[in-house]
Amino acid sequence: MTEFMQNSAYAGVTISLVSYAIGAWLKKKFGFGFFNPLLISIVVTILVLVASNVSYDTYNEGAKYLSWLLTPSTVCLAIPLFEEWELLKNNAKAVLAGVFSGVITSLVTVYVLAKLMGLSHENYVTLLPKSITTAIGMGVSEELGGYVTITVAVIVITGVLGNIFGEFICKLFGIKEPISKGLAFGTAAHAIGTAKAMELGDVEGAMSSLSIAVAGIITVVFATVFAGLI
Amino acid sequence: MKYLKQFLIILAVSLIGEILKDVLPLPIPASIYGMVIMFVCLLTGIIKLNQVRETGKFLIEIMPVMFIPAGVGLMSSWDVLKPVLIPVSIITVITIFTVMGVTGIISQTIIRSSGKETGHDRVYAK
């Protein structure tokens, strides 16, 4: 069995999808935020791979086709954006102010905490682009001299946390407007957060997709400024 | 055949995004270029909504599944993450709260003070 797992291109992905489906079923059945299908799938897959001694590279032989779909799917985020274009235009000021203040808050929070905990310059700039989409974040981290591998890991963790706790955080701060919820998800938790925003509604999803692009670009500009502070 | 055509258009836009990423010296991923191009094409009518809608909605619906490999990839970056785990965890958790809070509250305040249509009365697809 273990030997089969170590050579199979389908076993790992199948486990990922089955555990995702079970997670989705549990969430529907119990409606409890902790049963996040994405989190359950990641945890179950890692446990199975480690237990059967399968390397990530073997798993990725099959799983890379899931990742391959990410670019065309991100391109498709333009569709809800187009469908909600009127709404977006009417609220342009709120959208820009929301995303801009979110990006600055992200950079300031990382700066203050890094300063308090005495992080090195390298570790600090590694974390600066943590709230934005992986591809832009990697570029920023590399440019500033950070550890790109850690940046990628932190970006993924940020996205998953946003996906799991986003609804709770919106409730906590009394964020009820669909536009604002979407902006919060996209600015704080990029595409993984957007996947969640899409489930909440079309307006949330569209605003969240928009935030990924806008937040990414604003971060590219301001991360350089913040990088000089530590 | 409809889905195949739709997927072809989406892939073609992705390809143009990839070419732009190759040509332009900015740290912007192909997918973001593609998203902007798709949006502009829809806005100008070069691509009609019904030429991409169904396949696009399907891809968006299954999107969370596409992040599983990246999440599972954490198992191989565990060694580099371990030494900085505590500061990184603290920063990650706190930032999620501050960024979501500030973005949501500021935009909500502006929306409510302007009194425009907010999307509340929409009938959602899901």
> Which residue type sits at A112?
V
Nearest alpha carbon to residue A194 among A159, A167, A222: A159
Number of CB atoms found within 10 A of residue B45's CB: 8
Please report the sign of the dihedral spanned by the C-alpha atoms of residue B101, residue B102, residue B107, residue B109: positive
Give the Å distances, CA to CA, from B107 to A27, A94, A175, A191, B111. 30, 5, 9, 20, 6
Most distant CA pair in chain B: distance in Å?
52
A211 CB neighbours in chain B (<8 A) are 103
Q: What is the pTM of this model?
A: 0.84
**pLDDT of A33:** 61
What pLDDT, on a 0 to 100 scale, did the predictor assign at position B124?
46
CB contact under 8 A, A98 and B55: no
Measured between CB atoms, does B111 come within 8 Å of chain A? yes
Task: Give the residue among B63, B116, B37, B28 at the shortest CA–CA distance from A205.
Answer: B63
Task: Look at residue A138 and tell me whether its pLDDT is greater than 90.
Answer: no
Q: Which residues of chain B have pLDDT under 70?
A: 116-126
Predicted pLDDT at B80: 82
- The pLDDT value recorded for residue B17 is 95
CA A191 vs CA A74, A123, B123: distances in Å: 8, 24, 24
A85 CB-contact burial (10 Å; exposed 0-12 / middle 13-18 / buried 19+):
middle
pLDDT in tens, A51-68: 989 999 999 988 999 989
**Exposure on the CB side of residue A222, measured as CA atoms within 13 A:** 20
Contacting B residues, span 64-103, partner chain A, CB-CB under 8 Å: 64-77, 80-81, 84, 87-88, 90-103
- Answer whether A202's CB lies under 8 Å from B125's CB: yes
Question: Which of A50, A183, A195 faces B104 most closely, judged by CB atoms?
Answer: A183
Distance in angstroms between the alpha carbons of the first and the last residue of chain A = 51
Backbone conformation region of residue B26, classed left if phi is above 0, alpha if psi is from -120 to 50, else beta:
beta
Across A141-165, average pLDDT: 90
* Contact residues, chain A, for B90 at CB < 8 Å: 113, 117
The residue of chain B with its CA nearest to that of A218 is: B28
Cβ–Cβ of B63/A179 closer than 8 Å? Answer: no
- Among the partner-chain residues B35, B55, B120, the one whose CB lies closest to the CB of A178 is B120
Which chain A residue has its CA at the smallest distance from B38's CA? A78
In angstroms, the CA A91 to CA B117 distance is 9
The pLDDT mean for chain A works out to: 91
**Residue A162 burial (C-beta neighbours within 10 Å; 0-12, 13-18, 19+):** buried
- Secondary structure of residue A57 in the 3-state scheme: helix
User: In which band, very low, low, confident or very high, does the pLDDT at A1 lie, cut at 50, 70 and 90?
Assistant: low
Residue of B52, B67, B105 with shortest CB distance to A195: B67
Label residue A135 by pLDDT band (50, 70, 90): confident
Interface-testing mutation among B31, B43, B86, B112, with chain A (most A C-beta atoms within 10 A): B31
DSSP state of A10: S
Tell me if chain A has a CB within 8 Å of the CB of B16: no
Share of chain A above pLDDT 70, in %: 97
Specify whether the CB–CB gap between A187 and A179 falls below 8 A: no
Distance between CA atoms of A216 and A31, rounded to whole angstroms? 32
H/E run at residue A92: helix A92-116
Residues recorded for chain A: 230
**Shortest Cα distance from B89 to chain A (angstroms)?**
9
Nearest one of A67, A137, A14, A131 to B73, comparing CA atoms:
A67
What pLDDT shows up at residue B126? Answer: 39
Across residues A41-48, what is the average pLDDT?
A: 93
SS3 labels along chain B: CHHHHHHHHHHHHHHHHHHHHHHCCCCCCHHHHHHHHHHHHHHHCCCCHHHCHHHHHHHHHCHHHHHHHHHHHHHCCHHHHHHHHHHHHHHHHHHHHHHHHHHHHHHHHHHHHHCCCCCCCCCCCC
ipTM: 0.87
Cβ contact B74–A165 (<8 Å):
no
Whether A10 has a pLDDT exceeding 90, the answer reads no
Q: Do A95 and B74 touch (CB under 8 A)?
A: no
What pLDDT score does A32 carry?
65
Q: Return the number of other C-beta atoms located less than 10 Å from residue A189's C-beta.
A: 33
For the segment A68-92, what is each residue's pLDDT rounded down to a tens digit?
998 999 899 899 889 988 888 899 9
Mean pLDDT on A162-185: 95
Q: What is the pLDDT of residue A29?
A: 85
Question: CA-CA distance, A88 to A40, in Å (whole number)?
Answer: 34
Q: Kindly report the nearest CA distance between residue B23 and chain A, in angstroms.
A: 15
Look at residue A96 and tell me whether its pLDDT is greater than 80. yes
Q: What's residue A35's pLDDT?
A: 75
Residue of A nearest to B97 (CA): A169
Q: Which of A220, A213, A179, A175 is nearest to A95 (CA)?
A: A179
Residue B77 CB contacts under 8 Å (≥ 6 apart), including other chains: A149, A150, A152, A153
Segment A97-103 shows an average pLDDT of 97
Q: What mean pLDDT is predicted for residues A26-53? A: 85
Report yes or no: A57 and B56 within 8 Å, Cβ to Cβ: no
